[in-house]
Structure 1
């Protein structure tokens, strides 16, 4: 088991990489092979995506796997690479904040994404207050464990097309600002956004903003001028590799 001192060093390193206007790119990985591939390409931190992990073990995204399923795969990843690792824990798998933090630390992870869609309860959307309270509970559990786990608070307002589009950005900013006040370290308005929207989100939110990128299509240089502090790929890196593999295999049909 990794020592608290080592975990804190990795958590501090991960947090310091979040610089608005000079974003850290966290390739989204799902197993030891993809993690080693990213580190061999000289990336200095990683995020583990729930969707690609679920696909890789034959289960569905949206909490079709258990937290223990996820931890098993994260342990493979942290055992294979020596860089900070953050983990998408979806809505928390029905686990307590204490269990989520202790489980992640036990397998050597030092960051997490927490979303506001509760898949196990009919895909209901947590209220902004409820989500902020859960973020605060995660922060408290991490503090109790003695490690500043990097909390990336996510809202699904955009991908759910929740409510009126006219005030959706305003509502996302208000919702994520509550999570920031509760102890988040970065904020994730997940979805694909027009540059002006992403620029506004980065300017008006009080913490570094996580942008979703399409790794085989987007211009890597296009994000820094918008002020974001973190870039990840969701399931899109795995999808791009899957398409490339299909093209290779197609030659042999």
Structure 2
């Protein structure tokens, strides 16, 4: 027996139509929405339904409001933090079902291996200073602090690549992976290996050796994948 799609509520229909107009470019960042009366007539809905639709779009960071003589409701331009937050929430939910640890780890490789190559080509002195501080700090830090410093190093490599989209896409993946795995199951020498591999990646970035940086990052992530997969399988077995 064929299944039928659930019927949208009116405010959902209106929100979807306005979202389509934003995505298609009919409404652009900075544009003011038409007056409430004009929109209700155009969408053939009540003011209450329209306001609920606008609340949905505001929660999705697609609309912003301003008061005063020049106020109104405007099309917003989502920031990288807004996009990363939305992706993080979605990935967290998906990781409880269809998205596996293998999917997330594969995505990391697709983002970070080329990022390491780009970082070796594009890094500046400030990028290098931050990477060096991260590597030194991780070598000297106690284990509880190393989890944070591990993520920090990888984010610094992504930022040194000079492409903000890489940073924006990677942050949610890191967060979901960090929440998914129990660090009490790590091998005793795990953090020592990670620190040494970070130091190798740093050396290639410092030398502007893009091929070496790419190779070292690929090897590093392959080792992380093996450990993380073991932990994830163990947890699922429990």
Q: Give the number of the structure whose residues are more often helix, by fraction.
A: 2
Larger radius of gyration: 2
Q: Give the number of the structure whose residues are more often strand, by fraction.
A: 1
